[in-house]
Structure 1
Amino acid sequence: MKKTIMLISMMMIVFIFNGFTLFQNKDKKAILFVNFGTTYNDTRVATIDTLQKKIADTYKDYDVRLAYTSRQIIRKLSERDGIRIDTPEEALKKLKADGYGTVIVQATHIINGEEADYLKREVASLKDDFYVIKLGHPLLTHIKDYELTMKALQLQYSELKADEAVVLIGHGTHHPSTSAYAMIDYFFQDASQNVYFGTVEGFPSYDNVLTRLKKNGIRTVTLMPFLFVAGDHANNDIAGDEEDSWKSMLLKEGFNVNVYLHGLGENEAIQQIFIEHIEHAITNKEIDMKRKKAGYALGK
């Protein structure tokens, strides 16, 4: 009798501390599609909604759910449109409550910056709530990603003359991952393309890009957002009529300025890179560095 009571007690402890995973179904699978978000409905339809549908069409045995990371955008959409979008943490807790055992989290982050780090911590904090939970990579992660992104971006413009250039402008960050912008810039330099990368908040800055444009004798510039959606930054900081927008400042410097006001999420080749990152998360095992180093120590 004591053994039976002890066994039941142990089962209850496991049940409680394992986050009620006895109710999780390993074969009930979901993809949590995470975005910073946008309040611009037209760009949302062309980017977030389009890629969400493509993910659902590609992975029919997974249910696809949506989350936004920007609390400001979530609040504004709720107040303005009566639409409530979950944060990643809220969405994951709902997936747990609904009995999902396998979850793939894929965000539309461009670089492995602060937003990507925060999401990684959120996912890690809930890893014991699922049999399997994996996080897909941001757009620019592996060398192959840079190569594919360069090819995808080349679909957005025609052959450039010697005095013409494309300037792609990302958000930017003070996180060490800002080096990703310089790296993708170098890919284009190495391919002898008149394509430059700048950021709204970080490096390369407007001044960095301006110096290079003048040095290389560029007269006509086409501005493109290096952002998943053409939202607030694209419409105001890049293409706006305010004095401190990139368009206004370049016009003041005497350049001819064109604007390509479309987010990266509208580019089908960029969409495909994110699909491939989901596939990688599904099919590849995560590397346990502690176990790997232990193997090295043993000469394996």
Structure 2
Amino acid sequence: MNKNEPHTSAIVLAAFGTTYDSAVESLLAIKRSVEKAYPNTPVRYAFTSNIIRKKWHKRQSDQQYQQDHPEIPASFYQVKNVLGTLADLQNEGYNQIVVQTTLLSHGEEFIDLKAYVDALNSIETIKPEWKPFKQIALGRPLMGTWGKQYSYSEDIEKLATSLVDDVEQAKAQHSALVYMGHGNDHLSTGLYYELEEQLNQLYPDLQIYVGLVEGHPNFAALLQKLKNDRIQTVMIKPLMVVAGDHANNDMAGDEDDSWKVMLSQNGIAVTPILEGLGSNDKIQQLYLQHLRDAAKDANITLK
């Protein structure tokens, strides 16, 4: 292809999104790592949450907010869902797209995302050249997916390995390490049990626990483990791409139902760390590898 011809490939980063300006950097860090790897391929964010998109759209007319937060990219104020973002790219002439999710697991959101991609790939036109997309590939979540091609257990092991800096930080504080994940109430969250087991096998000199906002292991199960192990001090971090609403309120908030408060009421000293996984350069590289895998499998060239 002549370098002056328009590139037909593009990348969409599909995230749930966040309304917390302090959490945006985690998303931008992932985008920068992708842009560094593929400097000649457009990379755009899509937010799957309707509520979050509407909040950013409202901020589009808030000049004071924009002045106070110059770190927010202009594109966030007009951010679209995955279908809208793909439609924009198609209208601009891009017909080979890699959609890389920033989700953690193959849960309900990823299933919906996969349904969108599969539906668009299935479109057939009378004349093949008028198909809206030549190919759309979907990169697997951080904790992997089922199937023979990519072992989800290896993805979990790589995730655990990438959390080494958290482990060292907890050791320095002489604390156990607790992760708060999101989870869900609709599908199995057994992956988180496996992650906890993998973490404790990989770092046997530190006690590490994983609990979820939704699904299992829930807070009650987590608290019981901490009591059984006679844990008195913990460092708690979000097992989420961004340190947004759940991290700031459910994990580290001052309300009676926050994990910080409930753990403190049970005699456990708590140090919250408000940092999303997206800020971890090792995690960024895992997402990038999943994107590479998806592009390679679909024979999509990214430059």
TM-score range (shorter-chain normalised) is: 0.7 to 0.9
Correspondence 1:40 to 2:20? yes
Aligned partners of 1:152, 1:109: CA distance in 2, in Å?
16
| Pairwise CA distance, 1:221 | 0.7
Structure 1 segments, 4+ long, off by >6 Å, are none
Q: Counterparts of 2:173 and 2:217 in 1: how far apart (Å)?
A: 22
CA–CA separation in structure 1 for the residues paired with 2:172 and 2:21 = 35
Indicate conservation of the 8 Å contact 2:104/2:143, yes or no. yes
Q: Determine which of 142, 159, 164 is the counterpart of 1:149.
A: 159
Contact 1:43 1:263 in 2 (8 A): yes
Counterpart of 2:141 (choices 129, 138, 143) is 138
1:200 is paired with a residue whose SS is strand
Identity in percent? 35
Q: Please, what TM-score do these two structures have when normalized by structure 1?
A: 0.83
CA displacement, residues 10-39 of structure 1 (integer Å, 9 cap, x when unaligned): xxxxxxxxxxxxxxx995110011111111
Deviation, 1:77, is 1.1
Aligned to 2:191, which of 169, 180, 185? 180
In the TM superposition, what whole-angstrom CA distance separates every residue of 1:237-281 from its partner, at most 9, and x where no partner exists? Answer: 000000000000000001111011100001110010000001101
Cα shift at 1:285: 4.8
Q: Distance in 2 between matches of 1:275 and 1:268?
A: 10
Q: How far does the alpha carbon of each residue in 1:182-234 deviate from its partner, in whole angstroms, 9 at most, with x for none?
A: 11011123333411000011110111011111111211011100010000000
2:217 aligned partner, one-letter code: P
Say yes or no: does 1:225 pair with 2:238.
yes
Matched residues in 2 for 1:81 and 1:40: separation? Answer: 15
Alpha-carbon distance between aligned partners in 2 of 1:163 and 1:269, rounded to the nearest angstrom: 24
The answer to which structure, 1 or 2, has the higher relative contact order (CA under 8 A, 6+ apart) is 2
- Structure 1 position 29 matched with structure 2 position 9: yes
The amino acid that maps onto 1:278 is L
Q: Which residue in 1 is equivalent to 2:227?
A: 214
The answer to whether the Cα contact below 8 Å between 1:237 and 1:244 also exists between their aligned partners in 2 is: yes
Report deviation, 1:42: 2.1
| Structure in which a larger fraction of residues adopt helix | 1
* Cα pair distance change 1:209/1:163, threshold 3 Å: farther
Q: Does 1:169 align with 2:169?
A: no
- Alignment partner of 1:120 is 2:120: no
Asked whether the equivalents of residues 33 and 285 of structure 2 are also in contact (C-alpha less than 8 Å), the reply is: no
What amino acid does structure 2 have at the position aligned with 1:145? D
> Does residue 39 of structure 2 align to residue 60 of structure 1?
yes
Aligned length: 261
* Residue of 266, 273, 282 corresponding to 2:286: 273
2: CA distance between counterparts of 1:36 and 1:48? 10
> Which one-letter code corresponds to 1:39 in the other structure?
T
Q: Quick one: distance in 2 between partners of 1:150 and 1:34? A: 23
Structure exhibiting the larger radius of gyration computed from Cα positions: 1
Judge conservation of contact 1:47–1:228 (CA < 8 Å) in 2.
yes
